[in-house]
Structure 1
């Protein structure tokens, strides 16, 4: 359930885009009323989907705050990025900004892992997972580097799909491609880690 909750803004973005794309005239009328004049018919689905994603992220944080009185830093970061890039998309009626949003998030994650390791000597992957699994120090280092590389590559791949394929292909990739590649990476990582997990000594 948690993974569905975490993916809620992406899922709603995808759903809104598909519904609006299937009803372009109504979507254009709605977008013009909410977001101002000058919107082209073909722009309406991506603009409405962006608005939905922003509202969904705000609602997500509000729900977490009401339930736990605490919001993870990652959620605040996601909100800041969607507000900046999504807001620019809505303000300028230009989907280029929202297409850059996943890349900005991926590169921020990857950069944070690298900087934390090199500058502050803190392995963030280890910090998150060491309560569940014991690994040799060298493996923790490889794991941190693997995640940083994965996020960097995903950022590049997002831009490639966004600007070399039709918009609808990018929207599909944003949900299914991103989730699929993440799943493959996690499974492959699991196989690798299974060879290095240290048994608890009694």
Structure 2
């Protein structure tokens, strides 16, 4: 269910892109829809969990700034930068977590599932930094070299698939350190 909640703004963006008869106007309607659904995502998540989810807030702020620039300047390039900027913010957070706090992001989020040495967590975390940086570059490449509709499909489905493959690889890498569930019968 969380996956659908996370995916909703991107899916709404894609649907709105194809609604207008004029393809040129589709990106602007889709941008408005993305701003609204990203805001709703922050509000709903905050009401359900009684706290503001940083991930949703970061994405909403980036969407609001770049979406507003897209609409005010009537220039679709700004909203196309959104995935790149979000990925690079996440890369910076992962990199910063190596030096700030006791554990890096990977260890904080997955430490309850894996008992890995610090060097393994560092490698996993640096792989996230590299992954998010490269994914941002790939988004820019697609945004500037393909039609808007192709970029939108890549943004929604291509990035989703790439993320899935990367996370699967990361879990496989960490799997040798998987913690065993405690047997409650002993």
Relative to the length of structure 2, the TM-score reads 0.91
Of residues 104, 128, 131, the one that matches 1:123 is 104
Residue equivalent to 1:47:
28
**5 Å matches for 1:83-94?**
83-94=64-75
**With structure 1 as the length reference, what TM-score do the two structures score?**
0.84
Q: State how far apart, in whole Å, the 1-side matches of 2:97 and 2:173 are.
A: 23
Aligned equivalents of 2:127, 2:102: Cα separation in 1? 17
Specify the structure having the higher radius of gyration (Cα). Answer: 1
Paired residue for 2:140, among 132, 135, 159? Answer: 159
Q: Please give the alpha-carbon distance, in whole angstroms, between the structure 1 residues aligned to 2:50 and 2:168.
A: 33
Partner of residue 2, structure 1: 2
| Equivalent in the alignment of 2:154 | 173
Q: Cα distance 1:19–1:150, how it changes in 2: closer, same or farther (>3 A)?
A: same
Runs of 4+ in 1 over 6 A off after TM superposition: none
Aligned residue-pair number = 183
Deviation at 1:63, TM superposition (A): 1.3
Q: Contact 2:27–2:76 (CA<8 Å) still a contact in 1?
A: yes
Gaps of 5+ in 1: 25-41
Superposed, which structure 2 residues align to 1:82-121 within 5 Å? 82-118=63-99, 120=101
> Is 2:116 the partner of 1:135?
yes
- Deviation by residue 1:82-131 (Cα, 9 ceiling, x = unmatched): 00001100111100100111000000000111122135564111111112
For residues 10-54 of structure 1, give each alpha carbon's deviation from its aligned partner in whole angstroms, at most 9, with x where no partner exists: 11001111222xx22xxxxxxxxxxxxxxxxx4310000000000
Give the gaps of 5 or more residues in structure 2: none
| 1:103 counterpart SS class | helix
Contact 1:134/1:199 (<8 A) preserved: no
Q: Contact (CA 8 Å) 1:43, 1:93: kept in 2 or not?
A: no
Is it true that 1:194 corresponds to 2:183 in the alignment? no
| Alignment-derived partner of residue 30 in structure 1 | none
Partner Cα separation in structure 2 for residue 48 and residue 201 of structure 1: 52
Give the alignment partner of residue 70 of structure 1, picking from 44, 51, 54: 51
Distance 2:3 2:146 in 1: 28
